[in-house]
Amino acid sequence: MKEAPLFVRTFDLCVWFQTLPLDAMVVGRVAQEEILRLLNDVTLAFKGNDREERLESADARCAVLRVQARLLNKLGLLDDRRLLFMVEGLDEVGRQIGGWLKRLSQDTVPVPLR
């Protein structure tokens, strides 16, 4: 697979997040599982498996992970610096997913007959 910026950023974010000591609480484990699902969706979208469905799922996962990151911060499991890194990374991934979805929707718009 060509290492596209979306995949690289998602992969790096996933690796970073998995190294955090969050598994002491359920919300930490759930967030770690969710970011792995995000990576799975992005990977499968690149492979062409139900591309639009996978990208929409990945976009939704970004939104869920942003909320989970804020919850982890409130619970004292994610300091402000790490929260900022996580949210900025998810925002970047979300913008790339949104751009890809927009391009896919433009590719599928029928051309009007003259």
- For the chain, the structural domain boundaries read 5-103
Asked whether the predicted pLDDT for residue 112 surpasses 70, the reply is no
Q: How many residues does the chain have?
A: 114
How far is the CA of 46 from the CAs of 19, 51, 62, 64, in angstroms? 25, 7, 17, 21
Question: CA–CA separation, 46 vs 51, rounded Å?
Answer: 7
pLDDT at 111: 54
Tens-place pLDDT, residues 64-95: 999 999 999 998 888 999 999 999 999 999 99
- Contact at 8 Å (CB) between 39 and 10? yes
Nearest to residue 51, comparing CAs of 101, 108, 102, 93? Answer: 101
At 59 the pLDDT is: 96
Class of domain 5-103: mainly alpha
Q: Which pTM value belongs to this model?
A: 0.81
Greater confidence (108 vs 45) lies with 45
